[in-house]
Structure 1
Amino acid sequence: MLATHRLGVVRHRNGARRRRWPHRAGGRAVTASGAAGQVALHALVIPDHDWTTLLARVRYLEQLGVRTVWVDDHLSHPARPSAPWLDAWSALAGWAATTEHVRLGTLVANPVLRPPAVLARQALSVAHIAGDRLELGVGAGYAATDHAAAGEQPWPAAVRSARFRTCVETVAALLAGDPVERDGVPVPAMQPSSRRVPLTVAAHGQKALRVAAEYGDRWVSYGGFGMTADDHLAVTRTRVRQLRAACTAVGRDPATLRCALLLGSAATTEEAVWLSADAVRRTVERYRQLGIDDFVFYYPPADVWPDGQVAEGVFEQIVADYS
């Protein structure tokens, strides 16, 4: 059945709203690499090194047993535009061809740089190379450097919100093998992967959380920048509560949506999480109490934390604890 795309809406030909989540009320979320309630450890690799270094890191993480290796998606480093940088999807394709079992994904794909149909095609291509090990994370985009590269001024909040919904709805339809229509122009259906690509939706505001509730296999947040540990915990608690309310509002069992948190950078919270394995465990357990299933840590921690505040072997110990 033809799905017709409007700004912020994907509908059946007869006008009925198309909901994309894979499990109805009473089910359990299993497509986003794990059953709901089961804790998983993931790693985010920043692509600001040469290929040899990045590949060695990803292979090491696979050997350690992390669930997923994620990469962020910008045209250049948002804070250091002249730094070395590899394109996210090029890196993922290379990792997909040179690893065996670790899952791979974007945290998160950037609609400022990638139109929805292009993003869907890139995801399906890498999923094919990876043997269906791909996890697709999608966000709203924020970096001024990305907007400049795309030849645009930074989007106003209302425009960003609308384009984010449009991107997620369109990508979800194309990943499912449905044709869509944008501004009266049909976008042909794409051959879906043999295993549906799980969709991780980054969201902080209530409108974006509603998108995650409607379309996500997983929700992800980084909390925010420059926060105290207590404030970071409090804002995450509030967002989890809002997310559950959004799930209920769209008729979805909240237990079918995994919740993820990106942790471990000094830019987000002052808490010295890497001083010891016990410090990391305490952090994980605090957020587990809020309903977080997936913990994504920057790797290696020393790249994002001040000198002398990362205990030797702490990352490896935590992966072993939760594997």
Structure 2
Amino acid sequence: MTVHALLIPDVTWPELLARARRLEEMGVATVWVDDHVLNPAHPHRPWLDAWSVLPALAAATSRVRLGPLVANALLRPPVVLARHALSVDHLSGGRLDLGLGSGYAAGDRAAGRVAGGFAETVAAVHGVLRGRPVLGGFPALAPVGERPVPLTIAAHGPRALAVAAEYGDRWVSYGGFGLSAAEHLAVTRRRIGRLARGGRPVRRMLLAGSPAVTAEPIWSSVAAVEDFTGRYREAGIDEFAFHYPPGPMWTDAKADQVFEDYVTS
């Protein structure tokens, strides 16, 4: 099973870097960085920009994959976003995973001014990542290596899920806010079913581990994490991205150790 980690960039750069390097040592598949204009939960608190952080992480790590989870399609023109992605792909030696979504935070929606819909943005980014000429026919920067930058698409509603089914290499969902454990699992099953109607093989990833979206104390023990992931794997989830570190979110000093034991076991 593939395990990823999401960094919340609400700490100093030295602390964020230390967390990324520790995750690389643990062997997680991808270190993702949250992308918002400002801290969605606490707008008055500091918040580092994901596309400024990612190049620095690319230079400071050597093995782990990196990416935004997810880059907000409202905030940047598609060609600019794709060029950011291809540049980080080169800086990291081909280690970029691009996450793309339409955003949920009020601050992002207030700041977003990009014309066109989500489907059009994803199609344009997808085209640039795969070598389509841009800006009057000039070629885009090619990805490192032989394969295109993998595209992860966040989607919950029917139209967004159709976009993920058409263009995504991976689909990601956090389920929703304020759901019970049973409701969260049920809505995830329904979304997986709708995604499957597209007929393409798309990897399925769940973002979990924050008490805001996970209605059960999964960090109480390794067995609790395994029970949680087991239920979602039966529902069709292939990969998991967990908020890191979990300890401060749960105000539980042992949660960080449980995470490490789970990832390295």
Describe the SS at the equivalent of 1:318. helix
Describe the SS at the equivalent of 2:47. coil
Distance in 2, Cα, partners of 1:312 & 1:77:
22
Distance in 2, Cα, partners of 1:188 & 1:108:
27
Code of the residue aligned with 1:320 in structure 2: it is T
In structure 2, the partner of 1:313 is 257
Query: What does the per-residue CA deviation read over 1:180-234, in whole Å, with 9 as the maximum and x for residues that have no partner?
Result: 5xxxx74643021123100001111111111111111100000000111111000
Map 1:1-323 onto structure 2 (within 5 A).
Answer: 39-150=1-112, 163-179=117-133, 186=136, 188-195=138-145, 196-245=148-197, 247-248=198-199, 252=200, 256-305=201-250, 307-308=251-252, 310-311=254-255, 313-321=257-265
Distance in 2, Cα, partners of 1:221 & 1:274:
20
Query: What does the per-residue CA deviation read over 1:283-317, in whole Å, with 9 as the maximum and x for residues that have no partner?
Result: 01111111211100000002322x23854510111
Which moved further from structure 2: 281-290 or 265-274? 265-274
In structure 2, the partner of 1:16 is none
Describe the SS at the equivalent of 1:134. coil
Code of the residue aligned with 1:132 in structure 2: it is G
In structure 2, the partner of 1:22 is none
Which moved further from structure 2: 261-270 or 123-132? 261-270
Distance in 2, Cα, partners of 1:243 & 1:310:
36
Distance in 2, Cα, partners of 1:310 & 1:135:
30
Query: What does the per-residue CA deviation read over 1:145-178, in whole Å, with 9 as the maximum and x for residues that have no partner?
Result: 123334x6xx9xxx9xx61111110000001111
Gaps (5+ residues) in structure 2? none
CA distance 1:303–1:163, change in 2 (3 Å): farther
Query: What does the per-residue CA deviation read over 1:5-39, in whole Å, with 9 as the maximum and x for residues that have no partner?
Result: xxxxxxxxxxxxxxxxxxxxxxxxxxxxxxxxxx2
CA distance 1:315–1:80, change in 2 (3 Å): same
Distance in 2, Cα, partners of 1:308 & 1:208:
36
Q: TM-score, normalised by structure 1?
A: 0.78
Query: What does the per-residue CA deviation read over 1:126-160, in whole Å, with 9 as the maximum and x for residues that have no partner?
Result: 0000000000000012222123334x6xx9xxx9x
Shift in Å, 1:123: 0.2
Distance in 2, Cα, partners of 1:80 & 1:186:
42
Describe the SS at the equivalent of 1:296. strand
Question: Percent identity at matched positions?
Answer: 54
Code of the residue aligned with 2:71 in structure 1: it is A
Describe the SS at the equivalent of 1:304. helix
Distance in 2, Cα, partners of 1:231 & 1:193:
40
Gaps (5+ residues) in structure 1? 1-38
Contact 1:47 1:88 in 2 (8 A): yes
In structure 2, the partner of 1:19 is none
RMSD: 1.7
Structure number with higher relative contact order (C-alpha < 8 Å, ≥ 6 residues apart): 1
Structure number with bigger Rg: 1
Contact 1:272 1:309 in 2 (8 A): no
